[in-house]
Structure 1
Amino acid sequence: MKRSAVGGASPLIVIVDRGGSKPRRASSSSSSSSPPSSPNTGSARPNKKITDRLSGVIDAVNDRKLPPELRGQRNAVRSETDILNVVEQRIWHSMEEGHFENLPGKGKPLDLSTNPHADPAEDTLYRILSRNKCAPEWVELNKEIRNNIAEWRSVLKKAWACKKGGDDSKWMELSGALKLQLRDINNKVFRYNLIVPFGRQMFGLKWEKEIVRLNDEEPRPVEE
């Protein structure tokens, strides 16, 4: 027996088996659920458009950094050497055309009393220190660190000779003291890197690398 609903309601189908079992209720095809659409599908396209636009802007900015001769050919620029070649060509062309002739101050000594590329406050400070025969703190600290490293490596070389000579007890004693001195030197290097102008930082010492350096300095046996 089948019965359907009337009046615009969703159709209902009741199936009765002849064997006397209880009626079963089946949903109509119109009420079948469809798989939910992913909420991220709609937002993926705008995100991709924004990413493409940002990539285009970055490419345009990087392209403007190149010399006019290389603009639009970023894929052809393999290294900084290609850019330097363009700069060298410009300099040679300018020299051939005489652009460097009759420049102001030609044949006169350079005025090194001021540095036009330095910060005015720093330049004034350095001139005051120079007049009083003083140097900036980082300059003095640089000299101190280099002297300490030279002395430390000299002692390390002597201790290494003791180890190679079979005096392990002397090597253990000296190596312990040298490791403590190495830590003090690296602390000075760390402080130096904090106060030095950008681009003048230095690396600290590493025990393993210093030992490798000593091994490399040892004379190799000559093969007959």
Structure 2
Amino acid sequence: MNKDSKKEYEVDERIQYNDPISEVVKRAEKEGHFDHLPGKGKPLKLANNYFNPEEKQLYKTMKDNHVLPRWIELANEIDVLKEELAVLDGKQRKEKVKFTNKKIKQYNRLCPPSLQRNKIYD
């Protein structure tokens, strides 16, 4: 195989997937279509509409009393368990993986779908 035929089959690592919607937005941004939007440069007011209206008071009360939602507590527990897994091996590791996966299953039932986590495989 000569040098030229090898080049023919090499993949250019600079090739990336470009999302068509992102390309449209980037082009519009470059052309200045977003320059005169109302509120440009001002902070977003997420506190008013961020939560489901029925849950708004619940989350406000929890925040005022420094209480985390259960799924956030589980996320913190899972992070600690994953750190502990790094130093374990053998039977202890398998048991810890099984326990961590149970926590991940609980977490996935409670958290928003976009924040779900994958199981750990040993």
TM-score if structure 2 supplies the norm length? 0.66
| Letter aligned with residue 146 of structure 1 | D
Q: CA deviation at 1:91?
A: 4.7
Aligned positions of 1:200-219 closer than 5 A? 200-207=115-122
Other structure's SS at 2:114 match: coil
- The CA deviation string for residues 62-104 of structure 1, in whole angstroms up to 9 with x for no partner, is xxxxxxxxxxxxxxxxxx84xx3355235524652x4323322
Aligned positions of 1:78-157 closer than 5 A? 81=18, 84-85=19-20, 87-89=22-24, 91-93=26-28, 95-96=30-31, 98-116=32-50, 118-156=51-89
Report the number of matched residues.
106
CA distance in 2, matches of 1:115, 1:139: 20
Other structure's SS at 2:112 match: coil
CA distance in 2, matches of 1:189, 1:180: 14
Other structure's SS at 2:94 match: helix
Aligned positions of 1:26-37 closer than 5 A? none
Q: CA deviation at 1:124?
A: 4.0
Q: 1:146 to 1:99 in 2, by over 3 A?
A: same
The aligned counterpart of 1:36 is none
Q: 1:203 to 1:108 in 2, by over 3 A?
A: closer
Greater RCO (Cα-Cα under 8 Å, separation 6 or more): 2
Show structure 1 runs of 5+ residues with no match: 1-79, 157-174, 208-224
Identity, % of aligned pairs?
Answer: 32
Other structure's SS at 1:114 match: helix
Checking the alignment, whether the CA contact within 8 Å between 2:81 and 2:96 is kept in structure 1 is no
Q: 1:93 to 1:103 in 2, by over 3 A?
A: closer
Show structure 2 runs of 5+ residues with no match: 1-16
